[in-house]
Structures are given as C-alpha cells and as structure tokens.
Amino acid sequence: MTNRLRQLRDDEGGFAIVLAVALTMMIAIISVALTMLVQGEDSKTRRDQTQDGAYQAAEAGTNAYLSDLTESNAFYTAYMAKGEATRTVSGTAHANNCSTVDASGKSTCSDLAWSSGSTWTYSTASTSDTGWFSMGNGYQYLIQVYPPNQSLTGLAEVITRIDVIGRPNGSSNLTQWRTIETMIRPSSLSDFQAFLATSITYGSTAVTTGPIFVGQDSSGVAGNLTHQGTADANLYAQGTVTVGGSTLQDGAKKFDSTTTPTALCKLNNCTAVPFTNFSSTVTTVAGAAGSGGISLAATDPTNSGLSGQTPAYSVNIWKLVFQSNGTVLVSSCKYGVTGSDNYASAPTCGTATTKTVPTNGAIYSAVDVLISGVVKGKVTVATAGNAVYGGNTTYNTNGTDVLGVEANGSIIVPSWARDASHNLTVYSAQFALNGPFEADQLYTSGAAGTLNFYGSSAVYGGSSGAIIFSNLFATRNYNYDNNLLFVQPPYFPTLGNAFTILLQRQL
C-alpha cells in the first residue's frame, strides 16, 4: 500500500491534461482578442474613410465658392450658391433646394438669383436643410457665407467668412461631418512689395522679400521684370520675368506671359490690371475724410503767413507730424523756394493744430502733403497732389499701427528729410497714381547715407522708372513689411478679381 501511494504521488499524467486545458483557454482568449482588434481596426478604417470623404466634400464646396467669388467679388449679394444653406431674412426662409439629383446622384440645382438684401441668418437646422449639394460620389456639402458690412465693400480690411460642411449623403451622424472655415479678404496692392506699371530691374545685390508685380502702362504696353539678386517671394510680370541663376529662393516662383498659369491668371482671373482701375482711390479717401475724418483745403485763412500767397491764403503743402499718443500735428505751409524746385528746402509753416487720428482713418489734402512722425492707429493720408516724406515715419507698435499714403501724383523724398547722418527710415504702404516713388529729381549734390523703407510700393512710375533714389542715398534697403498681410491701411486699393486667404482651418 505504501509503495502504491508513492507511485500515485509521483505520477504526472494529470498535469498534461491541465496544461492542455490552459493552453486551449489561452488560445481561445487570444483568438477572441484578435477578432475584436481586427473588427475595431476595420471599424476605425471605415470611420476614417468616411471622415476623410466628408473633409474632401467640404474642401470641394469651399473651392467652388471661392471660384464664384473670383468671378464676381460681390457674388454673395447677387446669388445663393448651389449647395448654400437656407437664408432667413426677416423671418422668411429662402432655400435653394438641391435635393433633386441626376442618374449619377449629383444634384441638379444651380446658383439662385438673390435680391433680398445683404444681411441674413442661417436658422434652418443643417440636418434638415434642403440646400445640401450632392457630388455624385456618396458625399455632399452645405455652404454658409457671412459677408462683411456692405458699407466697407471693396476695402482691403474687409473679411468674409465661409463655413462649408461635408458629410456622407443624408448622414445625421455628426461624428461623420467635417467643417472647413475660411477667412478671406480682397487682395490688396499692399500685399506686394512692389506693384508697378513700369518695367524694373533689380541688380545682383538686391534682396526682395515680398511679391513683385509689373503690369501695363497707360498705353496697354506690358511691363517686364528683371531680377539678378535674391527673391524670397514670387515674381510676376504681364510681360516677361528674367532672373539670375540663383535668384529664386525659399520656394519663390516666377509667373509671366509665357508660364502656365500666366501672371494675370495667377493673380487676377486672367484680367489685366491697368493703373486706371485705381483712379477713384484718392477720391474715396476724400469722401471719407469729409464725413468723419480730417479734410484739408487748398486755402487756410487762419494762417497769416499765407496772406501774401496768390490766391490769398493758398496752401502749397500741409504738414502732418504724427505723435505716438494717437494725435497728429497739422499745419499749413508755403514752399520755402519758388520756381522749378519746390522741394529744395523745407517749407515755411504756420502754427500747428493738434488733431486726433480719426476713427475712420481718413485724412485728405487738396494740395501736396508732408508726412513724418510716429503713427498710432490705422490711417491713410491721401492727396490730390504729391506726397512728401519730411522725416522718419514709423509706427508706435508694429503689427498694430499702419499708415497708407496715396498720391494722385508722385511720392517724393527731399534731401532735407534726411537726418544728420543723411539717413531716413520710412514705414508705409504707399500708392502713386501718376508718378514714381523718388528722390527730388533736381537734387544733384551727391548721394550719401541710407534709405530704409519698410512696406509696400504701388506706383505708376515715370519716364525714368518707378523707384529712383540713386541720386540721394548711397545705400537703399527696400523691405516688405509682412504685417501688411494682416493690418491693412483703410481705403487702400484692391484687385478686383482676387482674394487673399487669411485663415483656413478645420472646425
């Protein structure tokens, strides 16, 4: 009996059964886990595919609406786009029903003429809206557009918001929806480092950091752009762009009449941009200055120093000296030198009056205007004559404050505007309708010092060129101010058929 018990105690035959059972259970658990994992991954893949399709539908709707706006920058006031959500005006719903589809499943609706005003809301629930546009691939999109205040239409600082939702056809599962928000504004001339109507050449030492465009002159002759230096942003010309071997840097490209797309198609819906398009720019500022801004006449009876002028009290040039506290010192002046060179010496000015930089940002002068100082606020100074920089012109806070200068004539820097070291620094977005950005052409005493310009120059140019300072400054640094992409001078001219995307994101 003792031997038998000992044998039973040492017998391991039952252990094999236990081990087999344990292995079987482990295999079963692993099999179940793998099945669940595969099913989960498959579900996740299908969900990702659905969401990706919804995003692509939202992207297609966004591109479609931007294309409509390129054709007409006031599209939203004339039409409800196909795929646009139901607009509600004074309690009345206006729907563009896109629920009817063709054999491929694509909606058959089209843009719907709109004549019910420039303001509306989208009060219909998106899940039940009939405006969804089906693309024929199992997905559809719905557009909601929020236009700017119509009193600001055409201004570069105006921002339009476009929200486009994409989803699988008829889906009410919001987790499958995707929304793209796009914020746009009209493309401004201040988006360019130089926007010219006269051919221009940049030498081998030139460095340009903003886009450059050369269009056509008053005779319709296309200008050419030659750049032998370094360009860190795109180069455009209605004629031709000629570059050096290493000119294009940081992804910069060139577009001209020989490229695909051409410069005009890239920038302005294949439409030429003559400077006459901007002829009303100064007038626009004049109107704003007369209704809430600062309007400066061609005479000033309060300045006794002008009594001997002909006609009496006539002002040759208004002097504006901006202050860092948001004011501007304004004084009427007469030229210090009469004859052929009005800018040979500083003008003689009367007592300055302190004015607050206007809320609407508009200052207009009926005669030449002399500008300097530290700008606080967003302001555009326009003149029926020439704009003249009388000294350093800077901002109180870069990226917050901005100065626009608009001249019906030219923009001029006289020799006496330089400091004791013959240097001058200017920040502005400037526009000259009928002349160049230049030094006093009659100055012949030799170039010295440095010009540091930060901003944008949209100038028509003259017989000698568009930007001319070799007779005054030994060194000229022209720099694009990237803040102009986000802070626009009031009433600055814009391109008619182009937009700048400020923001695009998925909500």
Contacts of 469 (CB under 8 A, 6+ apart): 413, 438, 439, 451, 476
The answer to whether residue 280 sits within a structural domain is yes
What is the pLDDT averaged over residues 476-497?
Answer: 90
The answer to whether residue 107 sits within a structural domain is yes
What is the pLDDT averaged over residues 410-414?
Answer: 97
Strand duo 378-383 + 402-407: pairing: parallel
Please give the residue that has the higher pLDDT: either 335 or 219: 335
Confidence band of 255 (pLDDT split at 50, 70, 90): very high
Q: How far is 404 from 393, CA to CA, in rounded Å? A: 11
Task: With 0.85 as the threshold, say if the pTM is over it.
Answer: no
Phi and psi at 132, nearest 5°, equal -55, 130
Determine contact, residues 106/97, Cβ cutoff 8 Å: no
The answer to whether residue 143 sits within a structural domain is yes
The answer to whether residue 322 sits within a structural domain is yes
Determine contact, residues 432/197, Cβ cutoff 8 Å: no
- Whether pLDDT at 189 is above 60: yes
The reply to whether 283 and 168 lie within a common domain is no
Structure confidence by residue, pLDDT tens digits, 38-49? 565 555 556 678
The answer to whether residue 244 sits within a structural domain is no
Greatest mean pLDDT range, 68-77, 340-349, 490-499: 340-349
The reply to whether 322 and 469 lie within a common domain is yes
The reply to whether 172 and 281 lie within a common domain is no
The reply to whether 471 and 356 lie within a common domain is yes
Structure confidence by residue, pLDDT tens digits, 434-470? 999 999 999 999 999 999 999 999 999 988 889 999 9
The reply to whether 146 and 284 lie within a common domain is no
Greatest mean pLDDT range, 11-15, 22-26, 211-215: 211-215
The reply to whether 304 and 450 lie within a common domain is yes
- Whether pLDDT at 238 is above 70: yes
The answer to whether residue 44 sits within a structural domain is no
Q: What whole-number percentage of the chain has pLDDT above 70?
A: 90
Q: Identify the weakest region by mean pLDDT among 136-150, 349-363, 419-433.
A: 136-150
What is the pLDDT averaged over residues 325-353?
Answer: 91
Which pLDDT score is estimated for 48?
A: 73
Which pLDDT score is estimated for 159?
A: 76
Which pLDDT score is estimated for 154?
A: 44
The reply to whether 162 and 307 lie within a common domain is no
* pLDDT, mean over the chain: 90
Contacts of 73 (CB under 8 A, 6+ apart): 154, 186, 496, 497, 499
DSSP conformation class of 279:
T
Which pLDDT score is estimated for 29?
A: 75
The reply to whether 160 and 306 lie within a common domain is no
Transcribe 330-394 into DSSP letters. Answer: EEEEE-SS-SS-TTSSPPEE---EEEEPPTT-EEEESSEEEEEEEE-SEEEEEESS-EEEEEEEE
The reply to whether 412 and 284 lie within a common domain is yes
The answer to whether residue 225 sits within a structural domain is no
- Whether pLDDT at 414 is above 80: yes
Task: Write down which residue in 114, 146, 176 finishes a domain.
Answer: 176
| β partners of residue 387 | 369, 411
Q: Structurally, how many domains does the chain consist of?
A: 2
Which pLDDT score is estimated for 73?
A: 73
- Whether pLDDT at 5 is above 60: no
Which pLDDT score is estimated for 4?
A: 55
Range of the domain at 483: 190-197+274-497
In Å, how far are 68, 252, 493 from 199, measured between CA atoms? Answer: 32, 20, 21
Q: How many residues does the chain have?
A: 507
The reply to whether 466 and 340 lie within a common domain is yes
Element holding 455 (H helix, E strand): strand 450-459
The reply to whether 307 and 456 lie within a common domain is yes
The answer to whether residue 502 sits within a structural domain is no
- Whether pLDDT at 58 is above 70: yes
Q: How far is 207 from 260, CA to CA, in rounded Å? A: 26
- Whether pLDDT at 473 is above 50: yes
**How many CB atoms sit inside 10 A of residue 216's CB?**
19
Confidence band of 348 (pLDDT split at 50, 70, 90): very high
Structure confidence by residue, pLDDT tens digits, 123-174? 999 999 999 999 999 999 999 999 876 555 445 556 789 999 999 999 999 9
The reply to whether 156 and 305 lie within a common domain is no
DSSP conformation class of 210:
S
